[in-house]
Chain A
């Protein structure tokens, strides 16, 4: 059934249709409506789940880990400072091989106190062993949430579904909300790899000497390496049932492009508008929106780079003292390749400042006027 819903509620419907059994969450702007709607669903019995109110995000993740280890499909959601507070337990989730699915609404880190979008909150958790999916529409948020349960549970690796504060979280769009029975056919009940059991009690994750720890981490990485193929397979099965295809990266007019933007999140949709406008002016632009950031889509990025004459990586984030984080990763993925084009790194839109089609025009002008980047970072939109 088609509904007009906000991005946050697309997450809630995704968790509901995925039949999450435990939801442990703490409210934070701009995430609040995600769990508000889920708590209503639990209260009016439209969702048969245990809703655990907790006193902090740290506890929200701790309760989620316990629930997941007890064999329940577990969902939570947070944002910014809340995600940062969860940090040590994000490692526990992936290290404990617990397939929790979490929504994170990208919100800038304080100070200055901000509720508006940028990606530094989720990208600060890049190395915690979670899969990360950056969404650009409400439909994609809902579809990704359902698929994430499937991929996470198959690999015993948690997933983070990421959407921009306000630009997506509070924006209403038409979303095709699939029927429950079809989702049930697509997503079978959770069969945990490890499970707490009173009949066969175990202590999980206890003192692990240098004899064993290394191998645990090796196994996590090896399973993460299986994720790209599984994400594609899961998306294909989804397309067969629901008619919508999600890819690791979304290409838009890349084949003949002189300049390809590498973008993510809602800026990745603005980029498509910018590409159309640039093409009207005779500039052959294209856009490659990175949807899956962990595992990093090496293969797809290399395919795009092989046909592009220039890459312009758009970062709504920064690793202070270095570069934009997508820029670092794209360069690292392409290093040493025979047909690697010049790669330009742009930082823009921090703290929720709008990224407009005009900003992409400015990036294109810069990159097309140079044979190689002359600055470590090109800033777009700073009031200098």
Chain B
């Protein structure tokens, strides 16, 4: 449930340093997919019943639970809207990005 700690990007200088197959490169940590987003989920905690369904359904693990409420990680959230669709109280709104 916790946000993964950032790690240094692994870059091999030569093929000799590399294993036969890449293992745990953590490449997705450095692939900041939040830039793909057109609309973003905004949670209204006043109507949230803390069910955790948004956390469970997020396909990119971009929702964390902090102090028992969902928090969206906008660095990685692609704005797919699955959390808003699945929310039983409809307390997640998909809001247009303004940039």
Residues of A within 8 A of B (CB): 95-97, 156, 193-194, 202-209, 211-212, 215-216, 218-219
In the complex the two chains form, what is the Cα distance from A95 to B21 in whole Å?
A: 7
The answer to whether B27 has its CB under 8 Å from any CB of chain A is yes
Contact of B24 among A96, A203, A209 (CB under 8 A): A203
The answer to whether B46 has its CB under 8 Å from any CB of chain A is no
A215 touches B18 (CB 8 A): yes
A218 touches B15 (CB 8 A): yes
CB neighbours of A193 from chain B (8 A): 20
- Considering only residues 22-74 of chain B, those with a C-beta below 8 Å from chain A are 22-25, 27-28, 31
In the complex the two chains form, what is the Cα distance from A95 to B12 in whole Å?
A: 18
CB neighbours of A96 from chain B (8 A): 21
A216 touches B23 (CB 8 A): no
In the complex the two chains form, what is the Cα distance from A348 to B18 in whole Å?
A: 45
In the complex the two chains form, what is the Cα distance from A108 to B22 in whole Å?
A: 36
Q: Which 6 A-B pairs have the closest CB atoms?
A: A215-B15, A97-B20, A207-B27, A202-B23, A202-B24, A203-B24
In the complex the two chains form, what is the Cα distance from A205 to B24 in whole Å?
A: 8
5 contacts between A and B (CB under 8 A): A202-B24, A204-B23, A215-B18, A216-B20, A216-B22
CB neighbours of B19 from chain A (8 A): 194
B12 touches A215 (CB 8 A): yes
CB neighbours of A204 from chain B (8 A): 21-23
Q: Interface size bucket, B side? A: 10 to 19
CB neighbours of B25 from chain A (8 A): 203, 206-208, 212
**Distance between A56 CB and nearest chain B CB, rounded to angstroms:** 25
CB neighbours of B12 from chain A (8 A): 211-212, 215
Given pairs A206-B28, A216-B22, 5 additional interface contacts (CB within 8 A): A95-B21, A97-B20, A207-B25, A212-B18, A216-B20
B22 touches A205 (CB 8 A): yes
Q: Is the interface of A mostly helix, strand, loop or mixed?
A: loop
In the complex the two chains form, what is the Cα distance from A208 to B22 in whole Å?
A: 7
In the complex the two chains form, what is the Cα distance from A193 to B18 in whole Å?
A: 13
**Distance between B31 CB and nearest chain A CB, rounded to angstroms:** 7
B15 touches A205 (CB 8 A): no
In the complex the two chains form, what is the Cα distance from A149 to B60 in whole Å?
A: 39
Most chain-A Cβ atoms within 10 A of its Cβ — which of B15, B20, B21, B24?
B21
**Distance between A365 CB and nearest chain B CB, rounded to angstroms:** 50
B20 touches A206 (CB 8 A): no
CB neighbours of B22 from chain A (8 A): 204-206, 208, 212, 216
CB neighbours of A216 from chain B (8 A): 18, 20-22
The residue of chain A having its C-beta at the shortest distance from the C-beta of B11 within the complex is A211
In the complex the two chains form, what is the Cα distance from A205 to B23 in whole Å?
A: 6
In the complex the two chains form, what is the Cα distance from A194 to B21 in whole Å?
A: 8
Assuming the contacts A96-B21, A194-B21, A216-B21, asked whether A208 and B27 have C-beta atoms less than 8 A apart, the reply is: yes
A207 touches B31 (CB 8 A): yes
**Distance between B84 CB and nearest chain A CB, rounded to angstroms:** 27
B20 touches A156 (CB 8 A): yes
Contact of B15 among A95, A194, A219 (CB under 8 A): A219
CB neighbours of B31 from chain A (8 A): 207
In the complex the two chains form, what is the Cα distance from A215 to B17 in whole Å?
A: 10
CB neighbours of B18 from chain A (8 A): 212, 215-216, 219
CB neighbours of B27 from chain A (8 A): 206-209
The residue of chain A having its C-beta at the shortest distance from the C-beta of B23 within the complex is A202
CB neighbours of B24 from chain A (8 A): 202-203, 206
In the complex the two chains form, what is the Cα distance from A194 to B15 in whole Å?
A: 17
**Distance between A226 CB and nearest chain B CB, rounded to angstroms:** 13
**Distance between A233 CB and nearest chain B CB, rounded to angstroms:** 21
In the complex the two chains form, what is the Cα distance from A170 to B51 in whole Å?
A: 61
**Distance between B10 CB and nearest chain A CB, rounded to angstroms:** 9
In the complex the two chains form, what is the Cα distance from A208 to B14 in whole Å?
A: 15
B21 touches A97 (CB 8 A): yes
In the complex the two chains form, what is the Cα distance from A211 to B11 in whole Å?
A: 7
In the complex the two chains form, what is the Cα distance from A205 to B21 in whole Å?
A: 6
In the complex the two chains form, what is the Cα distance from A219 to B16 in whole Å?
A: 9
CB neighbours of A211 from chain B (8 A): 11-12
In the complex the two chains form, what is the Cα distance from A97 to B31 in whole Å?
A: 26
**Distance between A209 CB and nearest chain B CB, rounded to angstroms:** 6
**Distance between B19 CB and nearest chain A CB, rounded to angstroms:** 7
